[in-house]
Amino acid sequence: MQTVTSRQRLFVAGQQIELWEDPELPFGCALNDLESYCLNARWELLFNAMVLAALALQEDEEERTAPSPSRFAWAFGAAAPPAEEDQPGH
């Protein structure tokens, strides 16, 4: 039995790598892909998909919640403390 695979060559940090994928079972990170990996005991694919999905969610969250100036930023060394007249009640 001969398995046909698709092969791509990519460069990561200046190093050439080859990515092999079974065209009959393409890799994915969608919920149905994760479920399929569990049902078929494909733990390495499940792990990879979960890591990639988590990274994508984290990047999406970081883009949506761009840091806004905080009135407490000075407490973390990001700015000078507010002047007394700038504080409420003064």
Measured CA to CA, the distance from residue 53 to residue 32 in angstroms comes to 13
- How far apart, in Å, are the Cα atoms of 81 and each of 61, 69, 85, 88? 29, 13, 12, 14
State which residues form the domain around 44. 26-64
Would 7 be classed as within a structural domain?
no
Would 72 be classed as within a structural domain?
no
Would 87 be classed as within a structural domain?
no
- Structural domain count, the chain: 1
Model pLDDT for residues 2-59, shown as the tens digit of each residue: 555 677 787 777 888 787 777 777 888 888 999 999 999 999 999 988 988 888 888 7
Would 41 be classed as within a structural domain?
yes
Would 55 be classed as within a structural domain?
yes
Would 52 be classed as within a structural domain?
yes
Six-digit token pair at 15?
């190093």
Would 45 be classed as within a structural domain?
yes
State pTM to two decimals: 0.50
